[in-house]
Structure 1
Amino acid sequence: MIPAVLEQRRAGVLLHPTSLPGGVGNGDLGADAHRFVDFLAQAGFSVWQMLPLGPTHRDGSPYHALSLHAGNPMLISLDRLVEWGWLEPDRPGAAVNVAAYRVERLAQSYKKFMQRATDSDQRDFAAFINREAHWLEDYALYRALRREYSGQAWFQWPAPLRDRDPDALATARVRLSDELEQVCFEQFVFARQWEALRSHAEQRNLLLFGDMPIFVAHDSVDVWMQREYFRLDDSGQPTAVAGVPPDYFSAQGQRWGNPLYRWERMQADGFRWWMARMTTEFRRFDLLRVDHFRGFEACWEIPAADATAVNGRWVRVPGEALFESLLRHFGSLPLVAEDLGMITPEVLALRDRFDFPGMEILQFAFDSGADNPYLPHNHRKLGVVYTGTHDNDTTLGWFENLPAERQLRVVEYLGYPHEPMPWPLVRAALASVSQLAIVPMQDILALGRGQRMNTPGTTDGNWRWRFHWEQIAPDLGERLKRMTAMYGRTAG
């Protein structure tokens, strides 16, 4: 059964909020996010896909968040806080440290809130803390302790705090009470701004499409808070970590370093941990991509002491039991399986058992023969087709970097198009039989090399790309609207 949100053909754009214009240092949930919703709707799109929203580590990767439930405070619009009367106007200097500036401005905002907030706003804040207490209390303490210990990971803290000794935690809550309130306030503001954006999207008939990593970061409140669900030793260190095995692209495989789950423990209590996690995601999004879906059938288990993934092994996990429990609890599962990489018949069977759409990546379609599953004539209706993802180069950059014979294969397959790249591949995505077509914003703007969001296997220069409104030609919205209508993707 096709998920309800994909019962009709749709088109969408992939753009993380940090890539929006406006905002200090990065895009945020302010006026430009609302303007982007309007742009998508006017262009005939009905889906906005983005990356995970959690607070990040210093590398900025949204796939290794400090919390599965919290929102990234760097996405809070400071301008909105000024509009609400909770912050005085200010503009940073050119050489400002963006992160420090945002942290300071949020601290100022909390003080103004306590001075100026209406009784209604104060009640809303108290209600938010009470409603989200199951994760917020520990998250606030985790962030305050992390700041107190100069950014050290929880497993580097003094043993009583590392091991969550009740007396040590109680003492810390008293000592850091002001910081705890600050963190709670930031999450309250994030939630309020997110709900305003979500409401605006609903008014424009736009669905929000999220992204959920299968694993969590070792240094996260989720691991510190519930160590019993992870394969850790007495000092909080992993005994085995996640990754993928050696393949054509990497002789040593990839050692991601995320701690692996104790699936038997999770299953013993009816997967409550996953229920809570999915509740947060479904509250925010209409559709959710599950990253590394194959890890729900079997995961590559690497001994934690090993520096590479070579000595890992495949270990089965109870993915079917998990999804059956989630389905019973939620009634439906609007999920998309990121079924890329080393996919076995067992993984496909798990995907199809629950009618999860898979992913078709057009940039992967031209490196083999006519049976390549990513070629449009092999696409499935129950699928999501992409020109490329956040991990790919832009389509123009990809095409220009292909050898001449591969370029010829692409243009021959596409019928020797007269339009320059990336438009022929964008059209191929929109024309696909797959119910949902997603195009990265870089391809909407026809950008070339040097404009990608992430280069896998590297740590510098990622997650920073932003666009500018000036890059959108005056006729682009109307051109896109004609294309989405031509291929039956203008959702009503």
Structure 2
Amino acid sequence: MRASGILLHISSLPSKYGIGTMGREAFEFVDFLKKSGQQYWQILPVGPTSYADSPYQSFSTFAGNPYFIDFDLLREDGLLLEGDYEDFDWGDNPESIDYAKIFRSRFKVLKKAYVSGYNRLRPEVDAFRQEHAYWIEDYALFMALKQRFNELPWQDWDEDIKLRRPQAMEQYRRELEYEINYWVFIQYLFFKQWNALRAYAHQNGIRIIGDIPFYVAADSADSWTFSEAFLFDGHKRPTLVAGVPPDGFSATGQLWGNPIYNWEYLERDGFQFWMNRLRGIMKLYDKVRIDHFRGFDSYWVIPYGEETATNGEWRDGPGLKFFEILKQELGEVDIIAEDLGYLTNRVRRLLTDTGYPGMKVLEFAFDSREDSVYLPHHYIQHCVVYTGTHDNLPVSAWYEDILPEDRAFVNKYLCLSEEEGANWGMIRAICASVSELSVAQMQDYLGLGVESRMNEPSTVGKNWRWRVKKEDLNDGLAEKIHDLTARYFRLPKPAGAQ
């Protein structure tokens, strides 16, 4: 079945309160997708963000981001009054998130909802707590401890609780009971709103593509709770950290800093940490993109303390046996493999053996000096093609940034006209391709420039901020997208059609 979708993270939705949420504008975006003839809404990871506000550096691989809880929905549920959140400064730029202001104010409002609703909703919260018992108690304690220790990484906490000694765990659970219940309540609110949004999407024929990072953050409830699953020393410091080696994009590589998995331990345990990650993630999404898929075959490790990713080595990942156990445990999981970057024959073989579709990015295709596997004439049906990802420049900015000879190649290959523009020409190309699924960033449909870039890898301080203007998601644009989608037979089939 041919289909198409739009990539737009929840944070990028319009709202009055500084950041996109799971409220009315999210439901209206589902309506926009339906009008546009789309079948998929792709988002980024929805975990609570930590370092540099990146969704790929989260305090938990299981929890949801409190920033996405909608205040107006809480008011409708009787948990807030409008005055509880109207007078805060959420930022003055509707097209950019001010994370400092969000951090300072949002949790104050959510605390009011907790005070108002926890006791009244206690039976529902307790049922939620039991359903998510595998992770929720440790996550809530972790967040309460973060506050107790002035937001320090858990590796810098007092030795007894850092090492999770039973007496310390019991002591802090008793002392921080009020705060622990608050963080549980916040997750109850997140999942309640998320489940309602996802149900609405399904009612309107929209499936959600989520994203799971390959690694977890060093400062996370996951690495603290399941520290045996990572290569830590006796003081719970990483011995090795993650990244990628130097390449054509970076002379010193990328130093991500995530702890490395202890794959020997994980394999003996039947990869249960990962199985539970994926089990939880598939309760959120209909299809999931696994970031850095090649790490299952081999991954780059860097000694802890290095300042760049240059001094490292490749190590073997768990390979096909991981996915064999995954299918035994969870059945057929709908996965997209992020197989970008330098690929070895072993990685290609692993992708073939798992049967998952890989990714094609059209922005990677146009080097006038050589043929490229990212050019559409090389595609197979079983792949997912993008104009660009969240790590790339929007097409309009990319088109201006490339070499003149490469731009001429784009014009010739796509038969671009000035009237059509590079952004619509690129979208046309991925829609026309044989791939089973094509996805374009919302920025590309809008023809936006560098100011709308979601992330520039290896930089901090300016990423994950872009937001779409409410007036840009209009019926005229939806009709234009629908027409293009219909032209290349990517519309959803009518109910009952074969």
TM-score scaled by length of structure 2: 0.94
Q: Does the CA-based 8 Å contact 1:371-1:378 persist in structure 2?
A: no
Q: Which residue of 2 aligns with 1:353?
A: 353
Query: Does structure 1 residue 92 correspond to structure 2 residue 107?
Result: no
One-letter amino acid matched to 2:7? L
Q: Distance in 1 between matches of 2:482 and 2:26?
A: 20
Residues 161-172 of structure 1: matches in 2 within 5 Å? 161-172=161-172
Q: Deviations over 1:290-309 (max 9, x none)?
A: 11111110011111132222
Q: Does the CA-based 8 Å contact 1:23-1:77 persist in structure 2?
A: no
CA RMSD between the two structures: 1.3
Q: Which residue of 2 aligns with 1:371?
A: 371
**CA distance 1:366–1:146, change in 2 (3 Å):** same
Q: Distance in 2 between matches of 1:256 and 1:94?
A: 33
How far residue 380 of structure 1 moved from its aligned partner, in angstroms, is 1.5
Unmatched 5+ stretches in structure 1: 1-7
Q: Distance in 1 between matches of 2:259 and 2:365?
A: 33
How far residue 113 of structure 1 moved from its aligned partner, in angstroms, is 0.7
Q: Deviations over 1:142-185 (max 9, x none)?
A: 00000111100100000001000111111101111100010000
Q: Which residue of 1 aligns with 2:98?
A: none
Query: Does structure 1 residue 104 correspond to structure 2 residue 108?
Result: yes
Secondary structure in 2 matching 1:133: coil
How far residue 53 of structure 1 moved from its aligned partner, in angstroms, is 0.5
Q: Give the total of aligned pairs.
A: 481
Q: Which residue of 2 aligns with 1:82?
A: 75
Stretch deviating more after TM superposition (258-267 or 309-318): 309-318
How far residue 126 of structure 1 moved from its aligned partner, in angstroms, is 1.1
Q: Does the CA-based 8 Å contact 1:71-1:190 persist in structure 2?
A: yes
Q: Does the CA-based 8 Å contact 2:155-2:237 persist in structure 1?
A: yes
Q: Which residue of 2 aligns with 1:455?
A: 456
Q: Deviations over 1:392-421 (max 9, x none)?
A: 111001111223222111010012434122
One-letter amino acid matched to 1:284? L
Q: Which residue of 2 aligns with 1:321?
A: 321
Q: Does the CA-based 8 Å contact 1:23-1:78 persist in structure 2?
A: no
Q: Which residue of 1 aligns with 2:6?
A: 13
TM-score scaled by length of structure 1: 0.96
**CA distance 1:356–1:137, change in 2 (3 Å):** same
Q: Does the CA-based 8 Å contact 2:297-2:347 persist in structure 1?
A: yes
Stretch deviating more after TM superposition (395-404 or 35-44): 395-404
One-letter amino acid matched to 1:424? G
Q: Which residue of 2 aligns with 1:203?
A: 203
Please list every run of at least 4 consecutive aligned residues from structure 1 whose deviation after the TM superposition is greater than 6 angstroms. none
Q: Distance in 2 between matches of 1:205 and 1:473?
A: 19
How far residue 381 of structure 1 moved from its aligned partner, in angstroms, is 0.7
Residues 8-407 of structure 1: matches in 2 within 5 Å? 8-90=1-83, 91-94=86-89, 97-114=101-118, 117=120, 121-369=121-369, 371-407=371-407
One-letter amino acid matched to 1:31? R
Q: Which residue of 2 aligns with 1:4?
A: none
Q: Does the CA-based 8 Å contact 2:416-2:425 persist in structure 1?
A: no
Q: Does the CA-based 8 Å contact 2:118-2:185 persist in structure 1?
A: no
Q: Distance in 2 between matches of 1:123 and 1:93?
A: 32
Q: Distance in 1 between matches of 2:48 and 2:278?
A: 17
Unmatched 5+ stretches in structure 2: 92-100, 494-498
Q: Which residue of 1 aligns with 2:427?
A: 426
Q: Distance in 1 between matches of 2:439 and 2:369?
A: 24
Q: Deviations over 1:34-87 (max 9, x none)?
A: 100110011100100000000011411000100000001111001100011111
One-letter amino acid matched to 1:482? D
Q: Deviations over 1:424-449 (max 9, x none)?
A: 00100111111000010101111122
Q: Identity across aligned pairs (percent)?
A: 42
